[in-house]
Amino acid sequence: MLLIVLFCMMDRTLFTKLHSLGLISDASLENIRMRIANQLFSLYWELRAILYIGVLLLSGSIGILIYKNIDSIGHTAILLFIALVSAGCFAYCFKKFPVFSLQKVLPPNSFLDYVLLLGCLTFISFVGYLQFQYQVFGNRFGLALFIPLVVLFLTAYYFDNLAILSLAITNLAAWAGIAITPAKILADNNFDNSTIIFTGLLLGSVLIATGMLTKQKKIKAHFEFTYTNFGVNILFISCLAAMMHFEHSYLLWFVLLAGISYYFYAKAVQEKSFYFLLIMSLYGYVGVSYIIIRFLFYTINGDIGGLAMACLYFIGSAIWLILFLIKMNKKLKAL
C-alpha cells in the first residue's frame, strides 16, 4: 500500500528506474501498475452537483406543471400535492437524522441534505401559493414571510444545515424589509428611502452580533461565519447607501464606514481570513472613491481636469489595492 501511495505522489518513471536497478521485482512492479490502473476515484462533488441540480429541476418542474395545468388541476389539488411533497421530505429527514445537538452534527449521507432542501423549498412555495391564491394572511405580507423564516431557522438548527440557514437569513432580510417599510413605499415601488437604509444597518448589526454570540456560547458555533458573512455585506452596503443618500452628512457616514472597516480588518488578521480582508478592502475602496470623486466634481467643480484626475486616481488606486491585497495575503499566511 505504501508503494501505491508513493506512486500517486511521484513520477511513474521512478518505479521503472527502481525496477531496472533491481530494487523492485517484476511482480511488485506489475502489481503497482494493476492497482493504479484500477484505482478508485471520488465522485463526491459530481454526485452533490447532480443532487443539487435535481432538486432545482424538480422544484422548477413543479412550478411549470402548475402554470400549464392550473385550470384542469385546481388550486386545492396543487396545494395538497405541494404539502404532501414537503411533509414527506421532512418526515424522511426526521427519521434518518441523528439526535439533535448544539454542536456540529454530520448528516448520515449527502442525500439527506437535498431532501431537506426540497422540503424547505416546497414549504416556502406552499405558503406563498396559499397567500397569493387565497390571501390567507390578508394584507399582512410580513406574516407570509415570518412563518417560513421561523420554520427555516428551526430546521437549520435541528438538522444542522448551513444551506437552510442561508435561506432563513435571506427570508429574514425580506421580512424585515417588508415589515418595517411603510406600505406607501411598497405600493409606489420606491425604495429610495432612509427607512430601508436604517433597516439594513440594524439587520447587519444584529446578524454580526448573533454570529459572535453563536461562537461564544458554542451554540452551533460553525454557524458564525454564515451569520457574519450576511451581516458584513448588508452592513457595508447600507453604510455606502447612507453616504450617497444623506448628502449633507456623508462624512459622518464615512467615519462609520471607516470604523466598520477597521473592525473587520482586525478580525481578518486575528482569524487569518483573507475573505474578510477582501470584503473590507473592496467596500472601503468604494467609500474612499466616493469621497474623492465627490471632491473632484462637487467641491472644486472640476470638469475636464477633474475627469483626468479621476481617471488617474482609479488607475493608481486600483494598482495600490492589488498590491495591498497581495502583501496582506502573504502576511496572513506568515502569521
> 89 with 167, same domain?
yes
All three cell numbers of 99, joined, read: 439526535
Are the C-beta atoms of residues 100 and 161 closer than 8 Å to each other? no
Q: Do the domain assignments include residue 29?
A: no
Domain count across the chain: 3
Torsions phi, psi for 74 (to 5 deg):
95, 145
What would the pLDDT profile of 178-189 be if each residue is shown by its tens digit?
555 555 544 555
User: 146: domain range?
Assistant: 55-180
Does a structural domain hold residue 44? no
211 and 235 share one domain: yes
Rounded CA separation 209/221 (Å):
13
Q: Do 173 and 81 share a structural domain?
A: yes
| pLDDT tens for the 335 residues of the chain, in order | 444 444 444 445 666 666 677 667 777 767 766 666 655 555 566 666 776 677 667 767 766 766 666 666 677 777 888 899 899 999 999 999 988 899 998 888 778 888 898 899 889 888 888 887 788 887 777 788 899 999 999 999 999 999 899 999 999 988 887 555 555 544 555 545 688 889 899 999 999 999 999 999 999 999 999 999 999 999 999 999 999 999 889 999 999 999 999 999 999 999 999 999 999 999 999 999 999 988 887 766 656 777 888 889 999 999 999 999 999 999 998 87
How does the average pLDDT of the chain come out, rounded? 82
Kindly report each contact of residues 221-229 with a partner whose C-beta sits within 8 Å and lies 24 or more positions away, as own/partner.
Answer: 221/103, 221/104, 222/104, 222/162, 223/156, 223/162, 223/165, 226/162, 226/165, 226/166, 226/169, 227/169, 228/276
Residues 85 and 153 occupy one common structural domain: yes
pTM over 0.95: no
Residue 50, domain member (yes or no): no
Q: Find the DSSP H helices in 97-140.
A: 110-134
Please answer whether residues 149 and 171 qualify as being in contact, where contact means their C-beta atoms are separated by less than 8 angstroms. Answer: yes
